[in-house]
Chain A
Amino acid sequence: MTDYDHTRIDEVIHSRLRLAIMAALVAVERMEFTALRATVKATDGNLSTHLRKLEEAGYLQLHKSFVDRRPRTECALTDTGRAAFRDYVTRLAELLRSDPPG
């Protein structure tokens, strides 16, 4: 058994796809939408929905522009998003420490 408190897990990040988005963006300063889509293996629509949720939480910013008359969307974590991701990973690590396997 563990004394781990599941309510301390950030529910915004605690979805498989949003976790993948946060992990992909934490390693970079910014990433273009198509590269993020390939990294997290999502469809355009699904990715857009989850990006919006993270944006509403203040965890990421979307920058839209046009390059050679083509739309380009870049995604970047905010400082709040980076801090939230760090906390999330710390909580996971705490969980592993508090209830070692075996």
Chain B
Amino acid sequence: MTSKAEQDLSYIREIIDESRSFASFAGDYYILWGVVAGVALLGNFAFAVGSLPWPPFYIWAICVAVGWAGTALLARRDRARDLAIHPSGRLIMLSWVGVGIAMAIALFAGSWSGSIRPPAIPGLAAVFIGLGMGLNGVLARIGWLRNLAVVWWLAALPMLLRPGGYTLLVFAVLVIALHVLPGIALNAMARRARGAA
């Protein structure tokens, strides 16, 4: 009887692990926000080096609007095609909202009051993005995504230690590359999970 119970318990664990493979992967959200934020940051860089004659507020307004509209469309699509909804999905969304609010408070209030100098903003933003990606990786149990947090933090170090004109460009390139590439990888994982079903 006990060996049957042991078998049942290990079978239950195996099935629970397998059901996690159908978690929704937010690859398209990564790609979308990597592109819109990256384009807006390139606008900032162009303004900083004098290639853009007007402040990039309009670019930011358009990019953020496109980002949220795209997010709403993707959420609607995923609601209809997700193979499974995990409680971790809600936690991941909340962790990104939390990171976004913390970043907005620190960077907007800090730069408005002067307690944070503008050249330090990309480095600090990289610290926050690393935190969000690390949480996402831990909650979704994706090791390489969790490890990307370290890449963000390592990249933040030189940007904070030696802030300068280059940091905006480096940050814009990192935002695009470290969102689009993970997004493509997450989409590939999603395709494999859908293929298995």
Contacts and interface: CB of A to CB of B under 8 A. Distances in A.
Interface of A: 2, 4, 6, 16, 19-20, 23-32, 34-35, 37-40, 67-68, 72, 89, 92-93, 95-96, 99-101
Chain B binding surface SS class: helix
Interface stretch (B82-90, B123-131, B156-164, B181-189): B82-90
B84 A32 contact: yes
Contact of A67 (B8, B80, B87, B193): B80
Closest 9 CB pairs of A and B: A35-B83, A23-B15, A29-B85, A31-B84, A24-B19, A34-B197, A23-B12, A35-B22, A35-B197
A3 to B, nearest CB: 11
Contacts of A93: 5, 9
Contacts of B1: 2, 4, 6, 95, 99
Given A23-B11, A23-B15, A27-B16, A37 B197 contact: yes
B197 A95 contact: no
Max chain B CB contacts within 10 Å: which of A19, A23, A89?
A: A23
Contacts of A95: 1-2, 5
B11 A19 contact: yes
A35 B8 CA distance: 21
Interface of A is mostly: helix
Given A2-B2, A95-B1, 9 more contacts: A19-B12, A26-B16, A31-B85, A38-B22, A38-B197, A39-B15, A92-B5, A96-B2, A99-B2
Contacts of B80: 67-68, 72
Contacts, number: 87
B86 A29 contact: yes
A24 B83 contact: no
Contacts of A40: 15
Contact of B6 (A30, A31, A96): A96
Interface of B: 1-3, 5-6, 8-9, 11-12, 15-16, 18-20, 22, 80-87, 193, 196-197
B85 A30 contact: yes
Contacts of A30: 84-85
Contacts of B15: 20, 23-24, 39-40
5 contacts: A19-B8, A25-B19, A27-B16, A32-B82, A92-B5
